[in-house]
Amino acid sequence: MKFSVLSVLSVLSFVQTGVLADPTLSYLPVNTVYSFPYASSVNINTPSSSIKTLFLAIHGIAGDVETTFNNMVSLTSYDSSIAVIAPYFACDDSIPVQPKTLMFDCNGWQQGTPSTQLSSIYSFTVVDRLLQTARSSFSNLGQIYIVGNSAGGQFVQRYLGSSTVALSSKLNTAVSFVISAPGSYLYLDNHRVASKMSFKAISSACQPSSCTLSNSDFDSNYGSSASCSSYNSDKYGLDGLQLQSPPTYMSQFSGPSIVSQYLSQKTTYMVGDQDVSTSSVLDSSCAAVAQGQNRLQRALVFNRYIKLFFPQASSQLYVVSGCSHDEVCVFRSREFAASTNLNFLNLPSTANSWGAPSALGQSLLSVLFCTVAALFWMAVV
């Protein structure tokens, strides 16, 4: 009886931890001890001339890598020349992983913090390495899309200005970024909508159809008050990059170099026109509130800010009609298709058939995992 390496590793994890590691994950060696988990539609270590487009999709704050991966595979499976990779930033035990897996802070991986085991390996570092591995294997790769929704959108928006790898010049292929509904943005200087301007006034001036905010509506001294002195630091801005504790991937670079690279990247911003919740899941810190009341308003304001202060940026904002804070809704839209050159004609008609596994499907998977473990023990005992 033969077993795949992944199945054996899953069972070994069960032996050591009492939990069966998810066999849908692959592992990228980081050094001789630690590895990093990811889901992939193809073997990224096997040379292939048939893969021409790569989607690298970043999951949300809940670590729902399976949902993110399944959604993106469903959108792209009509074309065998498209590959999908979804990194998994493990920060708790919500998804079982094999021993010696790199772990990250649950609220830090979005901004490039180091792993909990290796201070020199950041969340951005492992994505750099995934891209390098895939590029070296896929000789005819012509386009890479790095996409993320919510916390994944935060990751992508901060990664694109600092990565030393995710550049067309480095990978010798086109690289584009899709940033969907992040809870906050990394601003490129200290301007924010003036604190004297109410959310109602901002909403009146800045609608999905048209935003009339002017330069004078933005204040460069928003943080003069001690109550919001950090509005332009940490993950919200570029002040004190080298003073971050712990240092992040971005701490290696100067603010001007990050701005220059950010503005050179091809970027699409997306948000649902119903993404207006201010629930506890939304960042309500002073620094985040300085950007707007909710995700829709923050997206509209940031897009207007970029147009006013950095008109040379190669970017576009799509506001998707009928979508709330819903990755499936936004990524299945004609706007996402247009920004990533996808053909959605052959999509299944129901979200459950291509999105998150149903309860029955999850139960069947659980039975399957247990069966694999039992067969393994029957074979070796």
pLDDT one-digit tens code per residue, 52-87: 999 999 999 988 999 999 999 999 999 999 999 999
Which tens digit of pLDDT belongs to each residue from 178-219? 999 999 999 999 999 998 899 999 999 999 999 999 999 999
Which tens digit of pLDDT belongs to each residue from 256-283? 999 999 999 999 999 999 999 998 899 9
pTM as predicted = 0.86
In DSSP terms, which residues pair with 144 in a beta bridge? 54, 175
> Beta strand pairing status for 192-193 and 218-219?
antiparallel
Q: Which residues of 19-50 are buried (b: 16+ CB within 10 A; e: fewer)?
A: ebbbbbbbbbebeeebbbbbbbbbebeeebee
The pLDDT of residue 252 is above 90: yes
Query: Of the spans 19-23, 128-132, 239-243, 351-355, which averages the highest pLDDT?
Result: 128-132
From 96, 91, 132, select the one nearest 14 (Cα to Cα): 96
Q: What is the CATH number of the domain that holds 253?
A: 3.40.50.1820
The pLDDT value recorded for residue 227 is 79
Would residue 258 count as lying in a domain?
Answer: yes
Would residue 194 count as lying in a domain?
Answer: no
CB 297 within 8 A of CB 288: no
Query: Domains in the chain: how many in total?
Result: 1
Structure tokens at 201: 């006034």
CA quadruple 287, 291, 296, 299: dihedral, nearest 10: -110
Report the pLDDT averaged over residues 291-303.
98
Percent of all residues in the chain with a pLDDT value above 70, rounded to a whole number: 83
Would residue 161 count as lying in a domain?
Answer: yes
Could you list the residue range(s) of the whole structural domain that residue 142 is in?
A: 5-185+248-380
Would residue 210 count as lying in a domain?
Answer: no
Would residue 202 count as lying in a domain?
Answer: no
Percent of all residues in the chain with a pLDDT value above 90, rounded to a whole number: 77
